[in-house]
């Protein structure tokens, strides 16, 4: 999608919301398996393959606004950053990174609730997203909803800095090879490949994020370890393999999810712009 045919703010808002909801609902069970594999309590104790839709309530609430905020920020900055066309990868990297920071203000609270519900962190006291949200609020206050915000940002910026420049580059090269604008499904293939590569390489950061969100220690009574200390602790006590826990479901989920997420976004944006659905430049 070139700057000349870029969607407006509101078109990005709607298309992003549709894309985020579609991918989160479709691939939620894989995300649950990945999260349980990364849990320090172990896959079986965290729930195994049972109840793979636990925690989906928070995702239903947060996925659309989170994705909408990301794409509004990303598309706006792509058009307005004062960088020459030769620096397009840097433009995409900055735009996507700032889009993720904006989206995380919405996404992290839903991630905290989702992660704790998926892994039965509260046991029988909170079997639903709403019950988990109430427990977070009553035991940790509003700050509890943003536990892991820093580690999430630390995961998302490297991830998106890899995914989106690669995605835009693949779209550009493929369009040149084919000598025509891409269909949405062709853009989706580019999204799948770029998402899978970025997901595999950033899995250790995702493991750290999961461990931080599942840490229920009261920060006023216990000094929580730094991210570097957590990383070292996992490596020393559990081995390098633990840093790549869930890498297969994470890569599969984000690879397939990237195809749906970016494919649906391109299709919806083109439809809203009144252009031929399924075509992107």
Q: Are 3 and 78 in contact (CB under 8 A)?
A: yes
Closest CA to 157 of 197, 102, 76: 102
pLDDT at 1 (0 to 100): 53
User: What are the structural domains of the chain?
Assistant: 3-280 (1.50.40.10)
Per-residue confidence (pLDDT) for residue 4, from 0 to 100: 47
Query: Can you give the pLDDT at residue 121?
Result: 80
pLDDT in the model for residue 119: 85
Gyration radius of the chain's alpha carbons: 19
pLDDT for 3 equals 45
Contact 242, 207 (CB under 8 A): yes
The ranges of the chain with pLDDT < 70 are: 1-5, 218-222, 276-281
Report whether 71 contacts 10 (CB < 8 A).
no
- β-bridge mates for residue 279, sequence order: 183
Q: What value does the mean pLDDT of the chain take? A: 88
141 conformational bin, left if phi > 0, alpha if psi -120 to 50, beta if neither: left
Spell out the residues 6+ positions from residue 264 whose beta carbon is closer than 8 angstroms to its own.
15, 18, 19, 22, 23, 184
153-164: per-residue pLDDT in tens? 988 999 999 999
Question: Terminal CA-to-CA distance of the chain, rounded, Å?
Answer: 4
pTM, 2 dp: 0.75
Token reading at 161: 């800095």
CA angle 15, 192, 210 (to 5 degrees): 85
pLDDT at 161: 92
Q: Is 218 exposed, middle or buried (0-12, 13-18, 19+ CB in 10 A)?
A: exposed
Strand segments (E) across the chain: 182-183, 279-280
Give residue 2's pLDDT.
46
């Amino acid at each position: 999608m070139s700057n000349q045919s870029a969607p407006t703010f509101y078109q990005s808002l709607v298309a992003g919301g549709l894309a985020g909801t579609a991918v989160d609902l479709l691939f939620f069970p894989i995300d649950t398996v990945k999260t349980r594999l990364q849990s320090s309590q172990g896959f079986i104790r965290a729930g195994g393959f049972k109840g793979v839709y636990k925690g989906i309530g928070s995702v239903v609430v947060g996925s659309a606004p989170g994705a909408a905020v990301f794409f509004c920020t990303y598309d706006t900055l792509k058009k307005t950053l004062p960088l020459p066309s030769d620096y397009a990868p840097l433009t995409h990297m900055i735009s996507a990174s700032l889009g993720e920071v904006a989206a995380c203000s919405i996404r992290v609270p839903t991630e905290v609730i989702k992660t704790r519900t998926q892994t039965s962190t509260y046991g029988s006291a909170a079997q639903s997203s709403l019950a988990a949200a109430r427990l977070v609020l009553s035991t940790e206050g509003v700050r509890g909803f943003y536990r892991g915000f820093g580690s999430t940002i630390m995961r998302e910026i490297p991830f998106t800095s890899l995914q989106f420049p690669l995605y835009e580059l693949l779209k550009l090269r493929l369009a040149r090879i084919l000598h025509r604008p891409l269909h949405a499904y062709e853009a989706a293939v580019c999204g799948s490949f770029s998402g899978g590569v970025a997901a595999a390489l950033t899995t250790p950061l995702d493991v750290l994020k999961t461990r931080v969100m599942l840490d229920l220690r009261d920060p006023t009574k216990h000094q929580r370890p730094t991210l570097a200390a957590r990383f070292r602790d996992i490596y020393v006590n559990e081995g390098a393999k633990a840093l790549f826990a869930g890498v297969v479901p994470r890569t599969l989920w984000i690879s397939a999810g990237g195809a749906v997420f970016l494919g649906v976004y391109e299709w919806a944006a083109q439809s809203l712009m009144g252009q031929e659905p399924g075509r992107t430049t």
